[in-house]
Structure 1
Amino acid sequence: MASALKNLSTYDETNLPDASKLSFGIVVADWNADITHALYQGCFDTLLKHGAPEARIFTVQVPGAFELPAGARILASREKLDAVICLGCVIKGETKHDEYINNAVSQGLVNLSITTGRPFIYGVLTPNDHQQALDRAGGRHGNKGVEAAVTAIRMGALHADQDIGRKAIGFRF
């Protein structure tokens, strides 16, 4: 669903697993820092809100979105993490650079997830302009960093083999 039709910060808190025993990595791109740092704050605050201990949240910064998969791999090799969240922003601009970067990042994170069995969360904004990015980094469409943190908690709990609850995954037994 397009974020213009959904607030990225809205989720059902009652169906979220407890994050108190989980460890998270956050990799933040410095390019478009006004946007990515707002994503980071939303992500970090959401992890804390749901019980993730601050001492088990490991953060690294990389130059741009293209470097997110490499930064994520390095961080995951150094720490025992249940999920790694990658936050970036690639604004369309005048050339097709955004398509190449977004495809490379998404493929890199998918490959890491598949080869390691650990969730690598894609928290990258792909807006057409700076205003759309602001709208999704704490503006009128919420904060993609919050959405990425919620995804990481759910997938991290699955990775950690926690009881994620039948209700939380939407199955009826």
Structure 2
Amino acid sequence: MFGADKGSTGPLDGKNLHIGVVQARFNEGITNALWDACHKELLALGVQEKRIHHVTVPGALEVATALQALAERDEFDALIALGCIIRGETYHFELVANESGAAVTRVGLDYQLPIANAILTTENQEQAVARQTEKGADAAKVAVEMALLLKQIG
């Protein structure tokens, strides 16, 4: 069993990692909180500030395009997707949630690059607020653990 600071690769040490983060601005209060928690956790895991590349995009559907652009630079050990989709009264929620999730996964598979997907999909604002800090920090841990694992595999 792994503790909070350990993964399948052992202790999570991100000091030599280069991490890219794409943050959607839609539902900005939530996504800023996701970014704050993610950034704080990356630093706590030893990722150097100068090795964290943070960009913002309008919404969740644009996240994958920015992830792909970062992946094409071939300088990142892992990427992180941050966003928030809150259910509304129309089918748009399903469209954005499904398409953004599939696109993020596709970029990771196409580039063989770990992507921690922290695009929240919630029924309401309260659920998003309840998850924003934990999911932001979790995304950082996942990115570091998966980057270390892929380096180990090799």
C-alpha separation in 2, matches of 1:83 and 1:57: 10
**Shift in Å at residue 162 of structure 1?**
7.3
CA RMSD after TM alignment: 1.6
C-alpha separation in 1, matches of 2:29 and 2:74: 27
Identity of aligned residues (%): 35
Matched, 1:12 2:4: yes
Structure 1 alignment gaps of length 5 or more = 1-10, 164-173
Please name the residue that 2:42 is paired with: 47
Match of 1:36 among 7, 31, 35: 31
Match of 1:155 among 139, 146, 154: 146
Structure 2 residue matching 1:93: 3-state secondary structure: coil
Please name the residue that 2:51 is paired with: 56
C-alpha separation in 2, matches of 1:19 and 1:46: 10
C-alpha separation in 2, matches of 1:98 and 1:157: 34
Structure with a larger share of its residues in strand: 2
C-alpha separation in 1, matches of 2:79 and 2:140: 9
Structure 2 residue matching 1:126: 3-state secondary structure: strand
Structure 2 residue matching 1:151: 3-state secondary structure: helix
Give the AA of the match of 2:114.
P
Match of 1:76 among 71, 74, 77: 71
Give the AA of the match of 1:28.
Q
- Choose 49-58 or 151-160, whichever is displaced more: 151-160
Matches within 5 A, 1:16-27: 16-27=11-22
Structure 2 alignment gaps of length 5 or more = none
TM-score by length of 2: 0.91
C-alpha separation in 2, matches of 1:88 and 1:79: 23
TM-score by length of 1: 0.81
**Shift in Å at residue 78 of structure 1?**
3.2
C-alpha separation in 2, matches of 1:78 and 1:118: 12
Q: Deviations over 1:126-170 (max 9, x none)?
A: 1101111111113xxxx211111111011111233379xxxxxxx
Please name the residue that 1:88 is paired with: 83
